[in-house]
Amino acid sequence: MTTVARRMRADAQRNREQLLAAAVAAFAADRPEITLESIARSAGVGIGTLYRHFPNRQALLEALYTSEVESLCASAGDVADLEPWDALVAWLHRFVGYMATKQALAAEMLDYMAQDAPVFTGCRQAMYKAGEPLLQRAQQAGVVRTDANLPDVISMVVGIAKIQSGDPEQIRRILDIALDGLRPPQHDAEH
């Protein structure tokens, strides 16, 4: 009996993960009309399974948004062993990838909740908590200017991520150019 219950929980967890993955793909593709039925179909489950995990569209969107932020925050730990500059840059590139899904989700979520809703403020705090050590470490290593702060850096990255371009390589190039501006100014010996 315990084995059956565990397998059912594992199956339920797998279904939930498949639903979230299908929803990420749908929102990242910025499809014109994303229905719960199309998400369930893409996940390979029935609509009843979707509703067991997410009783309505709002619940799915909030779970998806939170899941994407948790993944972004966890990725800060994935890059922490890199050199300070490389770790910060790798995380900020992942942030751009996160923005692809976030933009569509946030726009729809703002239809039914305020920008300062707990889900948004909690996620923002989690992102700052994950990214701040990477920035501070790079500043302490002398590879990032000391007057940079994480809210400014994230605002810059968000602006770049929102550039209307069908070319992800162009976005990466623009981000790299902008990130070079975070390096400390070089002073000539003559000055």
3: domain CATH number is 1.10.10
Structural domain containing residue 189: 57-191
Say yes or no: 5 and 75 in one domain. no
95 and 128, same domain (yes or no): yes
pLDDT of residue 107: 74
Tell whether the model's pLDDT for residue 24 goes beyond 80. yes
Q: For 144-162, what is the mean pLDDT? A: 93
Q: Are residues 43 and 82 in the same domain?
A: no
Q: Is the pLDDT of residue 148 over 60?
A: yes
Please report, in angstroms and rounded to a whole number, the separation of the first and last CA atoms in the chain: 78
Same domain, 124 and 34: no
pLDDT of res. 32: 62
pLDDT tens, residue by residue, 60-100: 988 988 998 999 999 999 999 999 999 999 999 999 888 87
Residues 51 and 100 in one domain: no
How many structural domains does the chain have? 2
**pTM, two decimal places:** 0.80
CATH of the domain at 69: 1.10.357.10
Query: What pLDDT is recorded for position 1?
Result: 42
Could you tell me which residues come within 8 angstroms of residue 71 by beta carbon, excluding any fewer than 6 positions away?
98
Same structural domain, 74 and 2: no
C-alpha distances out from residue 187 to 64, 94, 143, 147, 190, Å: 46, 32, 14, 16, 8
The residue from 37, 55, 73 where one domain ends is: 55
Same domain, yes or no: 104 and 149: yes
Q: What is the mean pLDDT of the chain?
A: 86
Residue 3 confidence (pLDDT) above 60: no
Q: How far apart are CA 149 and CA 151, in angstroms?
A: 6
CA 9 to chain centre: 27
Specify the higher pLDDT residue, 119 or 33. Answer: 119
- On whether both 174 and 120 belong to a single domain, the answer is yes
- Looking at residue 185, its pLDDT comes to 85
